Structure 1
């Protein structure tokens, strides 16, 4: 059985609307979920700080 609740939470946290999530096929979701690692590390923070300075 697929972990629907976990998949749904991950989709919403990545910006998908509930409607968009439920319209995806399992194959599409697996492909989309493999596209990016949801972790955020120091290099990601540095990149954001350099590309979007506060002032």
Structure 2
């Protein structure tokens, strides 16, 4: 399990949300996560290798031709 990212959380709470320290420290991690999603939007997981392979098969890179 990864440790909680306190430096990033404090940076977002103080720097982006401009929360006073007492208000920031009164928040739960779940409340902070909701505030982050409200500002940044939902986070999407990166696609897995199988999905990437399928996309590469369906849409292969093509060599560019100079005109």
TM bin (shorter chain): 0.5 to 0.7
- Name the structure 2 match of 1:32: 35
- In the TM superposition, structure 1's runs of 4+ consecutive aligned residues that sit over 6 Å from their partners are none
Q: Greater Rg, structure 1 or structure 2?
A: 2
- Name the structure 2 match of 1:49: none
Unaligned 5+ runs, structure 2: 41-67
- Alignment TM-score, normalising by the size of structure 1: 0.60
Unaligned 5+ runs, structure 1: 38-55
- Alignment TM-score, normalising by the size of structure 2: 0.51
